[in-house]
Amino acid sequence: MQAAWRVDEIEDNSVPETDAHVLLMSDIAGNQDREAFKALFLHFGPRIKSLMLKSGARPEQAEDIVQIVMMTVWRKVHLYAPDRGSVSAWIFTIARNARIDRLRRGSSQAYTDIDDLEIVSDEPDGEDRMFASQRTQKVAKALSELPEDQRQIIQLAFMEDISQSEIAAKLALPLGTVKSRMRLAYAKLKNKLEDLK
Amino acid sequence: MSLDHHLDDATLLQYACGNLDEAFTVVVATHVAMCDTCRHAVRQAEELGGGVLEDVGTAELEVGSFEHLMLRIADQPAEIAPAATVPHVSGDVPAPLVRHLGPDLDAVRWRSIAPGVRKHVIKQNSASKSSLYMLHIAPGMAVPEHGHGGSELTLILSGSYTDVFGTFRRGDIADLDEHVEHQPIVDGDLPCICLVATEAPTRFKGFFSRLLQPLTGI
């Protein structure tokens, strides 16, 4: 848990790392700033690779997906809206879509259709940029405070990319128990995030 | 759009994880396109994904990984993503479904499977155990009371039906697991058109209905 909060790649220690990510994004969007992009890459690249390895990618495949995800970040950086979510959540969705397209031989088109809809039509949530770091901290806190049985299921679902029936089989639990733990974990997160408004 | 019936939180999380198969993903995305509440909820679930990504640990990248990336970007320039390309939605078919169905509900090619019931199977790109299809059910028709062999998602695109859970109108979704038994009855004067994903063939409860099932294939 602590590693995520260490400011190790960014020079300016006065800025919390997650705010720093939003600033990096605006430097990349505004000036195609390579140094900013490199800082973002050094933070997220190794995490995306780790996520893909846990999802069953071979090392060279995981490395290639990191490149594809970060290429998408570079090209779509101007579409990132801080009022809709944190940088890490945004990059997670790009990694998730790449995992569907590359590892699962599926199609992430439905997700990108929703993204496009949001960009054009959605009203902002009123959770503006000054909340970006707060939001990330709340999520980290919510995750760390989850009871072990709930955290395990959330991690399996997001990290290893397996369905709730597969989770149930893996943990030798009834499907209903897996679902109710997912609901409980999600309810806790929602409570934490709604506090921000 | 303000709706009465939303996704189960467990389904919503699975969608945010990217773990649903194609049939379920299409139905969830189509509901999400129509439902501001669930769109907001999906974003929150994706924050959980962001939290997990921060927490997943690091795997060492190959030497020169960043330089290699910048070379790849330089090699494939032109593709700065356009601001947004919303699929053209002219009729009453929401964006994520347009790719599978075309823009117009009236243009769907139905096949009659029982008196008052028509079906259109949607072709999926990936090999999937779940089926994805549309139903067109005449006013006043009652679908035989049935339980489910697995999860089932039913999204109303036109008309409405009522069962023990209430009335389901355009945009509402019924997110049911294998333990639920219900008997939807189509309301009013208009047919009810819905989009359905089922994990396994639905099992009808009644003896007669069970006889019918091979014919209807619902």
Domain boundaries, chain A: 2-124, 146-197
Instruction: Please give the pLDDT value at position A162.
Output: 85
Q: Does domain A146-197 have CATH number 3.90.550.10?
A: no
CB B192 within 8 A of CB B163: no
Q: From the CB of residue A197, how many other CB atoms can be counted at a distance below 10 Å?
A: 8
Determine, for residues A96 and B80 on separate chains, whether the beta-carbon distance falls below 8 Å.
no
pLDDT in tens, B14-72: 999 999 999 999 999 999 999 988 998 999 999 999 999 999 999 999 999 999 999 99
Average pLDDT, chain A: 84
Q: How many angstroms separate the CA atoms of A151 and B109, rounded?
A: 46
Q: Looking at domain B1-218, what is its CATH homologous superfamily?
A: Jelly Rolls (2.60.120.10)
Asked if A97 lies within 8 A of B18 by C-beta distance, the reply is yes
Identity of the residue in B10, B54, B177 whose CB atom sits nearest the CB atom of A47: B54
DSSP string for A36-63: HHHHHHHHHHHHHHHHHHHTT--HHHHH
Residues in Cβ contact with B46 at an 8 Å cutoff, skipping those fewer than 6 apart: A85, A89, A92, A93, B16
Q: What is the pLDDT of residue A12?
A: 44
Q: A53 CA to chain B: closest CA distance, Å?
A: 8
So what's the ipTM on this one? Answer: 0.86
Measured at the CA of A89, the angle between CA B35 and CA A110, to 5 degrees, comes to: 45
DSSP state of B182: B
A contacts of B123 (beta carbons < 8 Å): none
d(CA A159, CA B17): 8
> Residues A33-68: pLDDT tens digits?
999 999 999 999 999 999 999 999 999 999 999 999
The residue among B119 and A125 whose pLDDT is bigger is B119
**pTM confidence score:** 0.86
Looking at residue B64, its pLDDT comes to 95
Q: Could you please report the per-residue DSSP string of B54-67?
A: HHS---PPPTTHHH
Tell me the CATH architecture of domain A2-124.
Orthogonal Bundle (1.10)
- Name the residue ranges covered by the structural domains of chain B: 1-218
- Over the stretch B82-117, which tens digit does the pLDDT of each residue have? 544 555 455 678 888 998 888 888 889 999 988 889
Q: Which of A132-136, B30-34, B194-198 has the lowest mean pLDDT?
A: A132-136
Taking only residues 99 to 138 of chain A, the set having a beta carbon closer than 8 angstroms to any beta carbon of chain B reads 99-100, 104-111, 113-114, 116-123, 125, 135-136
